[in-house]
Amino acid sequence: MISPLDVFKVEKDGKLRWLETAETVEAAKARIAVLAAKAPGEYVIYSQKTGHKTVVKTGGETREA
């Protein structure tokens, strides 16, 4: 089964680098918190089902994209 969410890191040039998948938004945000501790910046959670994107910044700030 394919996980419904993809997690990406926003690179300095604005391109997205795929990191991993997650089963839930909560799991994706928890994983981003761990990743952002080592690599601060913006991350994107992308739903394969709906096409919905959530941007998560270091510190936990989120916005819908």
Can you tell me the mean pLDDT for 48-54? 93
Which sequence spans correspond to the domains of the chain? 5-64
Q: Give Cα separations from 51 to 29, 33, 37 (angstroms).
A: 17, 22, 27
Quick: pLDDT tens for 19-45.
Answer: 999 999 999 999 999 999 999 999 999
pLDDT at 55: 96
Edge-to-edge, what's the strand order for the sheet holding 5-10?
16-22, 5-10, 42-47, 53-57, 62-64
**What pTM, to 2 d.p., does this model score?**
0.89
pLDDT at 64: 84
